[in-house]
């Protein structure tokens, strides 16, 4: 494969470091599992006039959830399912003990959908003074493309998380570096996106990728993307620049495409991918982001990105089973 950063391989975290504080004993093979194992109340679905609501209490147009005032809680964000803005806020409040460790001290981008998942949506990273969620820490970084300052929200607090929902955000996306060491990656991530739309193709690509990483002594951990894709994480100790980590990820991706040329591609242009799985190593570059585990995704059914064990990554698994209501 050519040269690779030897130190990166030698200092990968023990697998136990990755699991602690993330899954907390929750077994993802059970679609009806309760997050109560980690002290999180189970999020229950209930039918009510005007749509589906999480929890049991009917709320007015405004409500305080997790200490944050959320306006327009009855505004429907998923028309087909009747899921409301308040439902999303209550889900994030319930799952926060598992989600917040993945967001702590990380600048983030959020997918903002003020009119719900079928309305106009956009990724927002700049939250200037006066338009930032109350109580949310902030970090100002210079965008290389424009030369302008960007005011990022820093994740890790319930106030910031629910504050983002309050301003219309559905899906959260975090960087692989933390405040204080912004150019040092503490994980390496691969985004496997099936052009065919078939999760079974992603499963096959993930198996080959896992084998390559194993050969290099790197423990890897998969999660659903929240759609048809798979995200594969390799936890790292700090001290590796994002430039080196991205270069290493590209080498791994190229090796993956060489071993499975009919299955995997590194082509940037969608027209060149055909039905192959796109292996994207560039989620590791400076200021790039990826959805953390337990983030809601803007997909039918309000699917959620969920950590898995490798033996759970099979063609029989339907990632659409993991939603706000089945965790």
More confident residue, 48 or 142: 142
Question: pLDDT category, 41, cuts 50, 70, 90?
Answer: very low
Weakest-pLDDT range from 37-51, 94-108, 175-189, 249-263: 37-51
Taking a C-beta distance cutoff of 8 angstroms, is the pair 126, 91 a contact? no
- Give the pLDDT of residue 19: 41
Q: What is the b/e burial string over 68-78, where b = at least 16 CB atoms within 10 angstroms of the residue's CB?
A: bebebbbbbbb
Kindly tell me if the per-residue pLDDT of 237 is higher than 90: no
Architecture category of domain 35-180 in CATH: Alpha-Beta Complex (3.90)
Which of 246, 224, 98, 72 lies closest to 161 in space, CA to CA? 98
Task: Report, as an integer, the average pLDDT of 283-301.
Answer: 96
Kindly tell me if the per-residue pLDDT of 309 is higher than 80: yes
> What is the pLDDT of the chain when averaged over all its residues?
84
Q: Which residue has the tokens 């005011």?
A: 151
Taking a C-beta distance cutoff of 8 angstroms, is the pair 199, 315 a contact? yes
Q: What is the pTM of this model?
A: 0.83
Residue 241 to residue 184: CA distance in whole angstroms: 4
Which residues, at least 6 apart from 120, have a Cβ–Cβ distance to it below 8 Å? 113, 114
How many residues are recorded in the chain? 327
């Amino acid at each position: 494969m050519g040269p690779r950063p030897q130190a990166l391989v030698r200092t990968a975290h023990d697998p136990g470091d990755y699991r602690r504080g993330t899954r907390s004993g929750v077994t993802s093979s059970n679609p009806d599992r309760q997050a109560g194992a980690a002290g999180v109340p189970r999020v229950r679905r209930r039918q009510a006039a005007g749509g589906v609501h999480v929890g049991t209490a009917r709320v007015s147009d405004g409500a305080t959830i997790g200490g944050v005032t959320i306006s327009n809680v009855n505004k429907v964000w998923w028309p087909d399912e009747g899921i409301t803005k308040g439902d999303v806020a209550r889900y994030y409040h319930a799952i926060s003990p598992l989600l917040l460790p993945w967001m702590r001290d990380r600048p983030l981008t959020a997918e903002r959908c003020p009119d719900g998942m079928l309305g106009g949506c956009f990724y927002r990273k700049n939250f200037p003074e006066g338009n930032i969620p109350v109580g949310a820490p902030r970090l100002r970084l210079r965008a290389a493309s424009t030369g302008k300052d960007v005011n990022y929200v820093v994740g890790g607090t319930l106030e910031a998380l629910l504050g983002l929902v309050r301003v219309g955000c559905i899906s959260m996306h975090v960087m692989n570096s933390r405040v204080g060491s912004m150019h040092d990656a503490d994980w390496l991530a691969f985004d496997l996106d099936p052009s065919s739309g078939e999760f079974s193709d992603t499963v096959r690509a993930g198996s080959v990728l896992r084998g390559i990483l194993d050969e290099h002594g790197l423990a890897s951990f998969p999660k659903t993307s929240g759609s048809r894709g798979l995200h594969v994480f390799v936890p790292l100790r700090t001290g590796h620049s994002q430039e080196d980590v991205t270069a290493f990820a590209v080498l791994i991706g190229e090796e993956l495409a060489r071993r499975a040329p009919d299955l995997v591609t590194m082509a940037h242009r969608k027209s060149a991918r055909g039905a192959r799985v796109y292996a994207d190593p560039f989620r590791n570059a400076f200021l790039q982001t990826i959805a953390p585990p337990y983030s809601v995704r803007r997909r039918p059914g309000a699917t959620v990105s969920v950590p898995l064990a490798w033996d759970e990554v099979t063609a029989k698994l339907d990632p659409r089973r993991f939603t706000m209501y089945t965790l």
